[in-house]
Structure 1
Amino acid sequence: MNSKRSNILAEIRAYLLTRRDTLKGYISGELSSLGSDDDSESLDDEMYFVMAESEAKELELIQDALGRFRDDRFGICESCDAEIPIARLRALPCTCRCIECQREFESTSRPALTQDTRRYDFSDIAIG
């Protein structure tokens, strides 16, 4: 690995560490505020829970990426072992696959969408 790539990967790692710490703070604050007031609305609690859940998912991705740093696998595609381009890592720092392998992964892991061929007759529905 060249020194320019090493420096960029170090910057990405620093970003991930900072983002991890920030998310931990957000999640801790959001979860501690659930139901804290007598006047709190369940809608507010639900909003905080959804935000914390989303941030927890991002935190998990970051933890996985940091684990790849520890294993000297960060920036290496887990499918084909090629170096993931820096541009992709900058755009998606938690990615674990090159774009080609990610496309392949998505095309094989998603259930195929089937076309609905049923015919519907709405002529008996009054409009207006």
Structure 2
Amino acid sequence: MEKNKLKYFEQKLINEKNEIIDTIDSVKESVRLNSSGSEGGEISMVDNHPADNATEMTDKQRSIALMDNEKNILRMIDDSLEKIKNDKYGLCEICGKKIDEERLNMIPYTSTCIECENSKVSRGEFRPPEEDVLSYPFGRSFRDNFDENEYYGEDAWQDVDSFNKRKGNERNYDDDKIATR
């Protein structure tokens, strides 16, 4: 990457870093002002409705989550500034190709090109990463998104559930029979 573009992105990263540090400081100040000890800003929590306490706790948790997110972005910015010093800025960490300037303008601390980023996240299936390492029966047994004709956990559940139905019971209805009435 050209020197003037590197200087531009370095300045952009430094500006963003300063903004994030200001955000973290203001969130810390906000959390500090709104709390005294482990309870809220109240002298006594006895006369408060439990929903008020829950709202205050939710606000604290949201602030902490925001602060954690900002700290993660700050780490990525520091990594990007280090890459600028080592002449590795703008290269994808996965494939090694150049990252588009348009992408770097939008997210100057990105470390992957758009193709590698899209391949990291499967667009058709949003499942928790824990499911990749969980073994049977917790792993794939109830996922019915396969185009294979095999017997999975959901099929087993449907077979077992069919024995729970009693003939003549009003609670066991069939959608097709209701539609024809």
TM-score (norm 2): 0.53
Q: How does 1:4-23 map to 2 (within 5 A)?
A: 4-23=4-23
2:74 aligned residue (52, 55, 62):
62
- State the 4+ residue runs in structure 1 displaced beyond 3 angstroms: 71-74, 108-115
Q: Find the aligned partners of 2:18 and 2:33 in 1 and give their Cα distance.
A: 23
Number of the residue aligned with 1:30: 30
1:92 aligns with 2:92: no
- Looking at structure 1, the residues matched to 116 and 59 of structure 2 have their Cα atoms a distance apart, in angstroms, of 35
Alignment correspondent of 1:3: 3
Partner of 1:126: none
Unmatched segments (≥5 aa) in structure 2: 46-51, 129-142, 146-153, 159-172, 176-181
Aligned pair 1:53/2:72, yes or no? Answer: no
Q: How many residues are aligned here?
A: 122
More displaced stretch, 101-110 vs 6-15: 101-110
CA distance in 2, matches of 1:74, 1:6: 8
Q: Give the RMSD, CA atoms, in angstroms.
A: 3.3
Contact 1:65–1:74 (8 Å) recurs in 2: no
The structure richer in helix per residue is 1
Structure with higher Rg: it is 2
**Residues 77, 83 of structure 1: 8 Å contact kept:** yes
SS class of match (1:96): coil
Larger mean Cα displacement after TM superposition, 32-41 or 22-31: 32-41
* Deviates further, 81-90 or 34-43: 34-43
1:3–1:49 Cα change, 3 Å: same
Where structure 1 has 5 or more consecutive residues not aligned to the other structure, the ranges are: 124-128
- CA deviations on 1:6-57 (whole Å, 9 max, x unpaired) are 1321232222221231122123113313433217842134213213312321
> Whose RCO is larger (CA < 8 A, sep 6+)?
1
Asked if the contact 1:78/1:97 (under 8 Å) is kept, the reply is yes
What is the identity percentage for the equivalent residue pairs of Structure 1 and Structure 2? 14
